[in-house]
Structure 1
Amino acid sequence: MRALAAINHIIKIIPSKGHHVLIALILFFYTSSAFAAQPVKLDSLSARQVWFAAQVLPGSGQIINKQYWKVPAFYAGMGSMLYFGLKANENYHNTINEFKKPIYGPEEEYRFKEKWVAYKVERNIFYAGVAAFYVASVADAMIVKTKAKHSPVTATVLSTIAPGMGQVYNQKLWKVPVVFGSMAALYYVIDFNQRGYKRFGDAYKLYPNDEFGGRWGKNELLYLRDAYRRNRDLSIIGMFGIYVLNIIDANVDAHFFDWDISDDLAFKIEPVFNGGFSSFNPYSDPSVGLRFSYKF
């Protein structure tokens, strides 16, 4: 009430020009201060909010879950992997630049190429390590947050950031090699067709001085190049489809994780006999009926 009275007092003493702008500013700062005065309770955050926070700032999920000791562990892992990856990347580019110096001829290419390929592989492995620690921090935050109850949100998030992890969370381990095997096979097909597309594309550009020495005509080279490109694109679509199916499967399995599928889950019809010799009173009138039972 005092704040509203102060606002009214300010409105009265200011000139009429620009009232709407000043009123809007006053209301904005008043409402902002009112919301800022209310502390955010980390325990009340939903799984989706924890997932978003863990993605934007690695380690924030562990802080929300009050497992502070995990934060330096994840950052040490990401930091060390990033450092070694940057060093390997620097060595990779230095080796290429060294080979480009005029003192080295084409005969030295094999020796230098062996080095820069090794540095490139090393760099990619360390960068993959950074991604692995990042994914692990998000997954850990989600699993700890929803440990009291099996969560479809957690399963979906895990399969989104790392295919197969949602299946592990749902305890369907036999599905993991299916997911990885399918994606690995399609990755090989994509790589094979990409190399074929580049090879015949280069031959088409260099025709008739291509690597095949005129064995293929220009139209044939163009046809083969387009065929490899088409197969590559279809394989990419297939790989994306498997990725989406992996997410859907994890979500559906998580919803049915606690579902009772025992033999007792059934709709039963049983005959019922009452009265006569089947009851404690043999002189009562006998009756016959049906009992319907449904357990869920």
Structure 2
Amino acid sequence: MLKEIVPTAVEKILTDDSSKLHQTAVSPADTSLKPLKGELAETVAADSTKAGKHKRRDDTSTVRYSALFRDTIPLSRMTAISLIAPGFSQLYNKQAWKIPILYGVTGGLAYLGFQQSSKYKEIKKEYNSLVSQNAAQEQLDPVQCEMIRYNTRRTVFFVGAIASYLYFLCDGVLNYNGPENSVKKATTLSTLCPGAGQLYNRSYWKVPIVVGAFATMGYVIDWNARGYNRYRKAYNQVVNGEPDEFEGRYSADYLKNMKDNFRRNRDLCIILTGALYLLNIVDAHVDAHLKDYDISDDLSVRLEPTVFQNYTMTRSTYGVGMSLKVAF
């Protein structure tokens, strides 16, 4: 038998209220929420715009917002331009106040070096003239001392000018604000000045070795070059029948052999210096990589027995042995 169930008045009221709430929440015809949705979308868009602007303003490693340099210049390109136009790296790094110091120091030392060089050449002409006139040693000594004095000053000023030039190149690399890592900086510094990459990597004990090696090779090259020029001049004088500094004590064949030996040693030392220069760059590059290489403290070595299987053409056999396991 079927019985009709009639809802009570309270149930009717609850049912009507729930249906109205459902229609209010899901009805597409209701436009009362449209202004709220629009305001919410505008707020999200404004926040995202502000976040994007803030990110672009803070992220200076990829884009530079400057009147002169809009985009980031790679470290290698900046250094190459600075080699031709000193001071470019300081201008790029927003340290233009260093440029007058660069040109003042480097230009002043170079000017003094050329000034001492011109005086040295004048004294050297006077010395050669006295030698050609067979002057006494008492007349040659003061002129020779003055010539050595001007030559020493010239060398000091020129070395100072080159050192200041290299210093400002390295300063531009150290203050570079681009996305380059420490490995690229160390390699570039060693390319510009041997030993600078080791100093940047804080491998201080390597710096005296690198500098000492290059200083030694430079001295050996200079010594062999002077010996080569000396014996070549004496050989040419003997061949042409002119008096030489050895006063005829050595034959032309002996002078030729000495000349060739000094030239061979000089060329070999130049090749070794080039190899040393490349080794210096490789060492700085590898050392910079190893500085960032993280090795865990949890290192363990275990020696334990193991069973292994050998395969042959006819059958397989098992064997017992020891295995060494290293965990890191």
Q: 1:220 to 1:147 in 2, by over 3 A?
A: same
Q: Which residue of 2 aligns with 1:231?
A: 265
Q: Which residue of 1 aligns with 2:165?
A: 134
| 2:76 and 2:188 in contact (8 A); partners too | no
d(CA) in 2 for partners of 1:150 and 1:59? 22
CA deviation after TM superposition for structure 1 residue 87, in Å: 2.6
| 1:54 and 1:137 in contact (8 A); partners too | no
Q: 1:172 to 1:76 in 2, by over 3 A?
A: same
| 1:201 and 1:222 in contact (8 A); partners too | yes
Aligned residue among 182, 188, 196 for 2:227: 196
| 2:75 and 2:180 in contact (8 A); partners too | no
Count, aligned residues: 235
Q: 1:80 to 1:203 in 2, by over 3 A?
A: closer
Structure 1 gap segments, 5+ residues each: 1-37, 270-291
| 2:74 and 2:178 in contact (8 A); partners too | no
1:220-245, CA deviations, whole angstroms, 9 ceiling, x for partnerless residues? Answer: 33223222221221111111111111
Q: Which residue of 2 aligns with 1:245?
A: 279
Matched, 1:90 2:90: no
| 1:86 and 1:123 in contact (8 A); partners too | yes
Q: How do 1:9-158 residues align onto structure 2 when only pairs under 5 Å count?
A: 41=69, 44-96=72-124, 106-107=135-136, 108-145=139-176, 150-158=181-189
Q: Which residue of 2 aligns with 1:181?
A: 212
Structure showing greater Rg: 2
Structure 2 gap segments, 5+ residues each: 1-65, 303-324
1:212-268, CA deviations, whole angstroms, 9 ceiling, x for partnerless residues? Answer: 45554432332232222212211111111111111111122122221113534x588
CA deviation after TM superposition for structure 1 residue 89, in Å: 2.7
Q: Secondary structure at the match of 2:94?
A: coil
TM-score by length of 2: 0.61
Q: Secondary structure at the match of 1:41?
A: coil
TM-score by length of 1: 0.67
Q: Which residue of 1 aligns with 2:192?
A: 161
CA deviation after TM superposition for structure 1 residue 142, in Å: 0.5
Q: Which residue of 2 aligns with 1:16?
A: none
1:173-220, CA deviations, whole angstroms, 9 ceiling, x for partnerless residues? Answer: 111121122222222322332233233333333338544455544323
Q: Which residue of 2 aligns with 1:257?
A: 291
d(CA) in 2 for partners of 1:42 and 1:260? 36
Of 145-154 and 224-233, more deviation after overlay is shown by: 145-154
Q: Secondary structure at the match of 1:256?
A: helix
Aligned residue among 222, 232, 256 for 1:222: 256
